[in-house]
Amino acid sequence: MFIKQLSVFLENNPGTLRAMTELLGRGGIDMLALSIADTQSFGIVRTIINSSQIDDAMTLLRENGYIAKVNHVICAAVPDRPLGLTELLSVIEESKLSVEYMYSFLRAAEKGTARMILRLDDGKKAEAVFEEHRIKMLSQAEVDKM
């Protein structure tokens, strides 16, 4: 079960992140989760938004000179307690999957649960492994309700 994520490439200069988030905010786009990674010359912003806003966000970004694309990632529910994330990572490791990147939601989950966004080296295998281990994956519709 995959959800959509926007990846936006930014120049690694002061103010570029603020400008991008302001553009989305003024366009009525509400970010549910956000991750930022950088290299020496550019940064990558990964964000989860309501799927009904993806086309509008992509249009806004592209019309304003941003390079952006839509990726598919997994949103897993993890027990919000010590070792909760470790248990998920153990399943991933035992299944010989590799985490390419991971970040958490900005929005609070139901009590006792955290939500993690994961990009794994084999998404289809990860989906099957998570189902086998009864790791809850949120659907796009569930994410959209947040």
Do both 140 and 79 map to the same domain?
yes
CATH code for position 124 = 3.30.2130.10
Range of the domain at 81: 73-144
Q: What is the pLDDT along the chain (146 residues), one digit of tens a residue?
A: 899 999 999 998 889 999 999 999 999 999 999 999 887 778 999 999 999 999 999 999 999 999 999 999 999 999 889 999 999 999 999 999 999 999 988 666 677 777 888 888 899 999 999 999 999 898 888 888 87
Which pLDDT value is given to residue 107? Answer: 65
Render the chain in DSSP notation, one character per residue.
--EEEEEEEEESSTTHHHHHHHHHHHTT--EEEEEEEE-SSEEEEEEEE-GGGHHHHHHHHHHTT-EEEEEEEEEEEEESSTTHHHHHHHHHHHTT--EEEEEEBSS--STTEEEEEEEES-HHHHHHHHHHTT--B--HHHHHT-
Total count of domains within the chain: 2
